[in-house]
Amino acid sequence: MQKVIVAGFTGSMGSQVVQLVERLAEFQLAGVYNPHIDSLNPTDFNLASSVQVFNNLQQITLNDAIWIDFSVPSAVFTNAKFALEHGLKPVIGTSGLSTTEIAQLRQIAAKKEMSGIIAPNFGLSAILLLKFAQTAARYFPDVEIIELHHADKLDAPSGTALATAKAIREVTPEKKFHDQQAASPARGLDHEGIKIHSVRLPGYVAHEEVLFGAAGEALTIRQDSFDRASFMRGVELALNYVSDNQDFIVGLENIL
Ligand SMILES: NC(=O)C1=CN([C@@H]2O[C@H](COP(=O)(O)OP(=O)(O)OC[C@H]3O[C@@H](n4cnc5c(N)ncnc54)[C@H](OP(=O)(O)O)[C@@H]3O)[C@@H](O)[C@H]2O)C=CC1
Ligand SMILES: O=C(O)C1=N[C@H](C(=O)O)C[C@H](O)C1
């Protein structure tokens, strides 16, 4: 059985991932990590007594396990680097890794011949949206992105919106904004030459719209994660991928 450690296990995503791993026959929840907890007693968190609870990275001596990370943008690089350097294969869902940090993680993984995955979004609707947007952008080069999330989200724009902009730019040359107000904050963030608008509201979970416009017509593609259950199918795919493969990849679209 493949052992798994869940970082950020008390959070909205982490707690659902714990339940997922407990349900999967081929995987065993071996450890959980959150530096802000006082108790190291698994039963205090409704976990089996065999699960090791950690509140300090240095306590973690398990190796040959998968490290699933749904923590916070400010900690994800340290966590992922720690995992790779200690023989733990990373499955990273936490947003906020920079291009430079991802390149560094890739380098460590290559040196240590370890598999892993960084996925800005594990929801299949979001991955399909990204693919559809790539196709549409070939015919509609004028595009803007709106991402809408719950009000507790720590980062803006979302990792998914950044990945969508990057994917669109992979297939289209950079366009210049035509409008007079392109530099105004009201026009959103310019990323890869694409405007991204971030909405934060209670009641929302995670949603994205990609809007294409051309002479006399428009195309809008939208996906909605109404519940964090929407990410679990992708997390399961990623777990199977890293336990059976050697590659380190970025984006769930590469293994669908
Ligand atoms: N890739 C994907 O498909 C998805 C990605 N996400 C991303 O996952 C991340 C977590 O989201 P969400 O679960 O909603 O957030 P939450 O705030 O609900 O959970 C984050 C958890 O991480 C804990 N934590 C804080 N610092 C650390 C640390 N240094 N190491 C480990 N854990 C830590 C927090 O503990 P405490 O509260 O005690 O500080 C909290 O329990 C975000 O970056 C989000 O954007 C979210 C959904 C889907
Ligand atoms: O914070 C969230 O909730 C989410 N974060 C990820 C992101 O930044 O794109 C994935 C999904 O949008 C949910």
* Domain end point (choices 91, 114, 137): 114
pLDDT means per 10 residues, the chain with 256 residues, are 97 98 97 98 97 97 94 98 97 97 97 97 98 96 97 97 96 83 93 95 98 97 98 98 95 94
- Cα 95 to middle of ligand 2, angstroms: 7
> Is the minimum distance from the CB of 140 to ligand 1 under 6 angstroms?
no
- Total number of domains in the chain: 2
65 C-alpha to center of ligand 1: Å? 20
Residues 41 and 86 in one domain: yes
Q: Does residue 88 form part of some domain?
A: yes
Is 35 domain-assigned?
yes
Which atom of ligand 1 is nearest to 120's Cα?
Answer: 1
- Identify the CATH number of the domain in which residue 133 sits: 3.30.360.10
How close is the Cα of 145 to the center of ligand 2, in Å? 14
- For residue 247, tell me if it sits in a domain: no
Q: Which of 5, 12, 13 has most ligand 1 atoms within 8 Å of its beta carbon, as the pocket-test mutant?
A: 13
Q: Do residues 98 and 128 share a domain?
A: no
C-alpha 26/C-alpha 7 separation (Å) is 19
Q: Tell me phi and psi for residue 79, to 5 degrees.
A: -65, -45
Model-wide pTM > 0.90? yes
Phi, psi at residue 191, to the nearest 5°? -125, 120
Does residue 99 have a known ligand-binding role?
no
Say if residue 51 is in the same domain as residue 148: no
Ligand 2 in reach of 159 Cβ (< 6 A): yes
Q: What domain range is 97 assigned to? A: 2-114
Last residue of a domain, one of 86, 114, 142: 114
Residue 238 counted as domain residue: no
Give the C-alpha distances (Å, rounded to integers) separating 108 from 82, 85, 86, 113, 117: 10, 8, 11, 8, 13
- Same domain, residue pair 94 and 56: yes
φ, ψ of residue 35 to 5 degrees: the values are -70, -10
**Does the annotation list 98 as a binding residue?**
no
Count CB neighbours of 189 within 10 A.
16
Does residue 120 line the site of ligand 2, with CB under 6 A? yes
Domain identity same for 95 and 140: no
* Residue 96 shares a structural domain with residue 142: no
Residues 64 and 147 in one domain: no
Instruction: Indicate whether 240 belongs to any domain.
Output: no
SS3 69: strand
User: Which ligand 1 atom minimizes the distance to the CA of 13?
Assistant: 13
Q: Does 234 map to a domain?
A: no
Segment (H or E) for 31: strand 27-33
Q: How far is the CA of 94 from the centre of ligand 2 (A)?
A: 8
Same domain, 40 and 135: no
59 with 134, same domain? no
232 is in an annotated binding site: no
**pLDDT score of 63:** 84
User: Which residue is it, tokens 């709106």?
Assistant: 146
* Ligand nearest to the CA of residue 76, numbered in listed order: 1
> Is there a single domain that holds both residue 31 and residue 105?
yes
d(CA 119, CA 209): 19
CATH of the domain at 94: 3.40.50.720
pLDDT for 57: 97
64 in any annotated domain? yes
Three-state DSSP string of 199-227: EECCCCCEEEEEEEEECCEEEEEEEEECC
Last residue of a domain, one of 84, 114, 144: 114
Same domain, 74 and 152: no
Together in a domain, 53 and 149: no
